[in-house]
Structure formats: C-alpha cells, structure tokens
A and B are shown apart, each in its own frame.
Chain A
Amino acid sequence: EAQVTQNPRYLITVTGKKLTVTCSQNMNHEYMSWYRQDPGLGLRQIYYSMNVEVTDKGDVPEGYKVSRKEKRNFPLILESPSPNQTSLYFCASSFKGAGYEQYFGPGTRLTVT
C-alpha cells in the first residue's frame, strides 16, 4: 500500500530534550516536506526536500532541522524543543515538487512542557 508513515504518533516531552520525528514514504517520491498545524493558523511549511541531500527552508524553519540521506526518509529534528513547538506535525511527499499532489502522513502530535 502506497503510504507515508510517521513515528511516533504522539509524543510528550520536556523543554530542551532533543527529539526526532521520523517520516518514510514507499512511493519513490522525490519531494518531501514537513508542516505544522496549529489552531487558527492552518498548515505552515517547515522544511522541504527536492531530493537526497537537497533541503530548503519553508516559512517557519526556526528551531527545526532536517536531513535527507535516503530518498524514502525525511526525519524532523528538534535539537532543543520549546513549548511554542507544541503542535500537530505532518510529513508529506509528492512525485516531483510542490506543484504535484502531496500525500500526507497521519500526523504526530507533539507536546512540549
């Protein structure tokens, strides 16, 4: 089944404790992206990647890191999480870029206390 998977689905952590949210797709897509969803703010793009070793900032990259060492994986790293990073995070992938249908993962709900 073609899908985007994220882990963990739920995470409660404390300020400053480094964490990684994994994202994997099995569709051989070139483009992958991370979004955060907050009430009243919609979906905002954090980072995106056009291919292996090619990443770029979205609109809200502060406090996040990403890497793309393999085509199928695009982990999101929070080196020192803060409470304002409490949010619902979605990973997405598409065939070839932002101008194509994006397939979203099920989401990761992160709470930073």
Chain B
Amino acid sequence: GENVEQHPSTLSVQEGDSAVIKCTYSDSASNYFPWYKQELGKGPQLIIDIRSNVGEKKDQRIAVTLNKTAKHFSLHITETQPEDSAVYFCAARKGGSEKLVFGKGTKLTVNP
C-alpha cells in the first residue's frame, strides 16, 4: 500500500522567514497530493492541493511543488506569520483508490 513520509516533525522559524515541509510517497500510481493545516483543538483544513499532471501550484504565500520522478512533494510558506503556527499534514491518494494516506505531521511554530 501507499506510505507517506513527512519531514521535519517540528519546525521553528522567525516571523517573515520561509518554511518548507517535505513529503515522499511510495506508490508511483498516486495522483493527488493535498496539504492540510490543523490548528489547536480543530479538525484539519485543506490549504492547497496538487494533482500529478501539474508540477507546481501557488496560492498567495503558499506553494506546493511535485517531483513525480523522485516521488516527493513539498509545501512552501513564504513571509510566515504567527497565525501560520499549526500542525501541517501532507497526504497522497493512489489513482483508482479512495483511500487517503497521511504523513505523520509537522508542527510549525512561527516566533514573533
């Protein structure tokens, strides 16, 4: 089955710096890669996603890149703000499957 590895598990940055979280997946048939943000005491919320026919996607300060050959994808947050502090999860969905496999999460702390 699909396996998703996520690094780092914790990340601390200064406000205004950039943050990068990386994930690798095992199944080359995976074709959908979402990123979720979970704030304390809440359910995860989608912040950006990318499909396998696209190499990069951007939404304001957030971008995701996908390298299908290497089977890894990354979340980039620029100009970080304290409200970006949360746990971030990557996930992968195998084509033809309705399972979604999540990474173990990254706790991002943005220090003012």
A85 at the interface (CB under 8 A from B): no
Q: How large is the interface on A (under 10, 10 to 19, 20 to 34, 35 or more residues)?
A: 20 to 34
Q: By the criterion CB–CB under 8 Å, are A99 and B99 in contact?
A: no
- A4 nearest in chain B by CB position: B43
Chain A residue contacts of B6, Cβ below 8 A: 42
CA A104 to CA B89, docked complex, whole Å: 13
Whole-angstrom CA separation of A106 from B1 in the bound complex: 28
| Stretch from A44-52, A63-71, A74-82 contacting the other chain | A44-52
- Report A11 CB to chain B, min CB distance, Å: 16
Task: Decide if A102 is an interface residue (CB 8 Å cutoff).
Answer: yes
Expressed in whole angstroms, the Cα–Cα distance for A102 and B102 within the complex equals 13
Q: Which of A79-110 contact B (CB under 8 A)?
A: 90, 92, 97-99, 101-102, 104-107
Given contacts A97-B98, A98-B97, A98-B98, contact A42 B104 (CB under 8 A): yes
Of the four ranges (under 10, 10 to 19, 20 to 34, 35 or more), the interface on chain B belongs to 20 to 34
Looking at chain B's contact residues, the main secondary structure is strand
How far in angstroms is the closest Cβ of chain A from B101? 7
Chain B residues near A44 (CB, 8 Å)?
102
Query: How far is the CB of A111 from the nearest CB of chain B, in Å?
Result: 16
B102/A42 in contact, CB under 8 A: yes
Considering the chains assembled together, what is the distance between the CA atoms of A41 and B49 in angstroms?
22
Contact with B along A18-38 (1 / 0, CB 8 A): 000000000000010101000
Chain A residues packing against B (C-beta within 8 Å)? 4, 31, 33, 35, 40-45, 48, 50, 56, 58-59, 90, 92, 97-99, 101-102, 104-107
